[in-house]
Chain A
Amino acid sequence: MTLKVKSPLEIYNLLPKTNCKECGYDTCMSFAAHILDRTAKVFDCKPLVRDAEKDPKAKEALQKILDLTAPEIAEVVIGVGSSAIKIGGEEVLHRHEQTFYNPTAFFFDVWDTMDDKKIEERCDWVVSYKKFYVGKFLTLEGIAVRCTSNDPKRFAEVAKKVSEYGKPMILISLDPKCMEAALKEVSEKRPLIYAATEKNWKEFLKLALDYKVPVTIRCKNLDLLKSMAATFRQAGVKDIVLDPVTEPVGQGLKATFERVIQIRRAAIENGDKDVAYPIIVTPISAWLLDGDNVTKSYWETVIGGIFIVKYADAMILHSTEQHVVMPLITLRFNIYTDPRTPVQVQPGLRAIGNPSPEDPVFITTNFALTYYTVESDLTSANIKGWLLVLNTDGICVEASVAGGRFTASKVKSLLEETKIAEKVNHKYLIIPGLAARLQGQIEDETGWKVLVGPIDSGRIKGWLEKNWPPKK
């Protein structure tokens, strides 16, 4: 491991120790602890930042805290403004050891020999893509522009066009002339350039320095990859992304798996700063395989999946089919969810769509995913009703029924606490299909008539059409 700070005390000793609360925390010690787990930023200590402007000692303290708390893996910013993204910045090899921080950024490709209308369609798709999940919409990050024309003018033109969508970009060409032409148009948008190789590294190094853009270094040989990264760093390039080359199948994919893991382990376990940079993987390589489009897009998903779990900080994807995008965007969310924060919502009663006393009463758990799914399904289907949220310690319906966290007696207490009986003029409770076995027990315990709803809340609408209002 590198020399990293282990205790908040080390940070505390560098802070003003006045407990001024300007940072929003009660004490400097508590603030130090939050800096350590990256839930607060040292720049929130206004007195220290102010002092650092005139007092060299304070400046030194500030710098020391920054050094002590710098992430193991360098953080690289691609893009500008509100859509800019950070990649890298990771601390650990396994998410339970802390958390993974910056989710793998997805870049979907366009190429410059595509006709303009198609380019627009793909860019529009990236910008407008939405997938509802746990109370919000998941979206996509960026667009990768490939130079397939070999024409600097056309590449620059397409780069410019794409840049107008305001998304972070990767410019892809191994030809420095094409790259420079594009950079002349869009370098102020801070695209990631792809890629410096053993052959073109001098020119790409110059481009990275001249245009102040992050640069990808692409090489299968890890000695050489490391040497290039160190050379670039020494020449003054800080924003480096490593591409150990994605081989899409067979022994090659196996070797890619090894390279990616070894780079990240060397950075975190050996403290090798020369490779402590974000890693980019290219599932798009699956399109080099023989076979039909479904086979290729499936395999692209497989490569994407493997490296979302194992350390890719950015990836270039080709397929815009939902059977590729939806599993990957969901997997990314799952892997990058902070395991230290329980995904629960407040238990209690929620009124959905201004319900009246005639409207149905549903019950679900306080597992955030279940809750938001049910809530959004009801809202989407314009259903009015009362939604009871049972405290199952953030466990889903099926597991909480099996594990004794969803019980008749807890349902009874919830009915009483929320005084739902005073809000409706009936005594019908609709329980999730997965809790069907509790029907009798809940009826006995509460005196309410229990109706077993569908297993999936997406089907509540159809279910209500048949079963509500209940036949007396």
Chain B
Amino acid sequence: MKKFTLEEFFEVLKKYNVEEIQGVKIEGDLEIELEGSAIDLSNLLPVMNLINELANFFYHAKMTLTYLQRISSMLGIQIPIQLPLVQPEIKPAVPEIKLVPEVKLPPEIKLPEKLLDLKFKPYRAEWPGKIEEVKLGATKSEGGTREYIVTLGGERALAFYTFDSSQPNLPVVAIDVFDKPPALAKSVKVHYEDVLNDPAEWAKKCVKKFGADLVTIHLISTDPLLENRPAKEAAKTVEDVLQAVKCPIIVGGSGNKDKDPEVLEKAAEVSEGERVMLASATLDMDWERIANAAKKHGHVILSWTQLDINNQKTLNRYLLRRAKVPRNSLVMDPTTAALGYGLDYAFTNMERIRMSGLKGDEDLNFPISSGTTNAWGAREAWMTESPIKDDTPWGPRELRGPIWEIVTGLTLALAGVDMFMMMHPVAVATLKEIFNTLGGKSKFEVKDLDAWINMEV
């Protein structure tokens, strides 16, 4: 292979009395290659080869063949190349060729003087369905002693898509309270250390200090594997909490399938008239007993399933059709998995449930509750440092923990969650600010939006 530069090629052309090649513009340092080691310039064959090669080159460079044809006609030879050439009706003024579809001229760079004037047409989604509105708590006029009630649901569009339809009720936050000190991540525990042994004081702190809209009293001491506290005694704690705070409350069991129906039944009894939420009924327990207690005493029931839209549908159906729970008294917990620990499942499951509800599935159009405290199960939230030796250091856990709860919560808020059960005060405050913001209620403002481009931080 001998490499041949274009310059040399022009030298060759000169020998054959080609004085100039009009309009051929060569850019860059181009080379063409020739077969054969020695080139005999005494006959025309190499020139034809050259033209052939050059044609290929021009072909690949998407340049016009016009010039080649002109060269060849100047040389008085036929172009021996195999391209599907339509014969040379050449108009040099218009260097445009339609012979080979692949050959495109480089687009003429002609800058527009002004912008096109187009209108952006937004898409508007309309859903046939509506999420049920569920009220928690009862004021004096409604037969209870709460100072206010909380309304969940009522959406006719995806979460915060107020440009499709207004969102009557923004999500709310319930802070967790336990009737015996649970295992807590250190950065959570520090905020509750003074009240860990007093659920009523604990509940007060949640409302007064941390801005909870509701509190959840978890009766974990009733677990037969822990203290096995009798249901009747546990119900007293519920009464204490109702005394201590004036917000609507949620009553949680211990998660023991056998004991919970009894515990929640007693709790329902002592809180009659207050319209609490009983948390929760699951498929593998006596859900009917809990549903009956809710109905009898005018409470709301939480229907809890494990990351499975079909199970959620099934349990809701049982509660609605078999146990005849009123449609305004059902909330769903489709399970919250933490950021990094199955959040993708939890998010998509909730998003699908919400979209089914909006599409008109009457087994799924209920408000959604999330146990966002589960975020603290993620090791990134509580471990002092990564156990993986090649990880970039994790930084202070005091800062990682709350943000883990926040991001878990905000992701699920976008999937459609109406109520968040949480623990860290910073996470609570941040999430509430996010709801206010996306709900269009935040007043903060930044004037110069370009300033970050030049800021020296």
List A residues at the B interface (Cβ < 8 Å).
56, 59, 94-96, 111, 113, 128-133, 137, 146-148, 150, 172-174, 201-202, 205-206, 209, 220, 222-228, 230-231, 234-236, 245-254, 257-258, 261-262, 265-266, 269-270, 272, 274-275, 282, 284-285, 287-289, 294, 298, 301-302, 305-306, 309-310, 318, 321-324, 326-328, 330-331, 333-335, 337, 339, 369, 376-377, 380-381, 396, 399, 402-404, 437, 456, 458
Contact = CB atoms under 8 A, between A and B. Distances in A.
B119 A223 contact: yes
Interface residues of B, number: 83
A464 to B, nearest CB: 13
Contact of A327 (B107, B125, B404): B404
A472 B117 CA distance: 84
Contacts of B161: 261
Given A231-B112, A249-B444, A262-B122, 14 more contacts: A130-B392, A206-B111, A226-B120, A227-B116, A250-B445, A265-B123, A288-B451, A288-B452, A302-B430, A326-B380, A335-B344, A377-B388, A380-B389, A402-B306
Contact of A111 (B437, B445, B456): B456
Contacts of A247: 446, 449
A209 B109 contact: yes
B4 interface: no
A403 B283 CA distance: 10
Contacts of B392: 128-131, 322
Interface stretch (B132-140, B144-152, B208-216, B407-415): B407-415
Given A258-B163, A331-B343, A376-B388, A305 B407 contact: yes
Contacts of A284: 452
Nearest to A203: B111
A294 B107 CA distance: 51
Interface stretch (B70-78, B192-200, B348-356): B348-356
A396 to B, nearest CB: 6
A245 B444 contact: no
B245 interface: no
Contacts of B388: 132, 376-377, 380
28 contacts: A59-B102, A94-B351, A96-B348, A130-B390, A146-B453, A173-B453, A205-B111, A227-B115, A246-B449, A249-B437, A253-B438, A257-B160, A265-B122, A288-B455, A298-B406, A301-B403, A301-B406, A302-B434, A305-B410, A318-B457, A326-B400, A327-B339, A330-B380, A333-B340, A334-B343, A339-B344, A396-B337, A396-B341
Interface string B404-436: 101100110010000000000010001000100
B391 A285 contact: no
B347 interface: yes
Question: What's the dominant secondary structure at chain B's contact region?
Answer: loop
A266 B123 contact: yes
Contacts of A333: 340
A311 to B, nearest CB: 11
Contacts of B342: 369, 396
A275 B122 CA distance: 11
Nearest to A378: B387
Contacts of B123: 262, 265-266, 269-270
Nearest to B305: A403
Contacts of B15: none
Nearest to B439: A254
A322 B387 contact: no
Contacts of A285: 446, 449, 452
B448 interface: yes
Contacts of A59: 101-102
A101 B163 CA distance: 27
A245 B448 CA distance: 11
A376 B391 CA distance: 12
Contacts of A275: 120
B448 to A, nearest CB: 7
B391 A131 contact: yes
Contacts of A288: 446, 448-449, 451-452, 455
B403 A323 contact: yes
Contacts of B454: 146-148, 150
Given A235-B112, A302-B430, A309 B411 contact: yes
A113 B456 contact: yes
Contacts of A173: 453
A7 B134 CA distance: 43
A270 B440 contact: no
A223 B120 contact: yes
Given A130-B390, A326-B380, A334-B347, A321 B120 contact: no
A329 to B, nearest CB: 9
Contacts of A257: 160, 438
Given A254-B437, A339-B348, A456-B379, A266 B410 contact: no
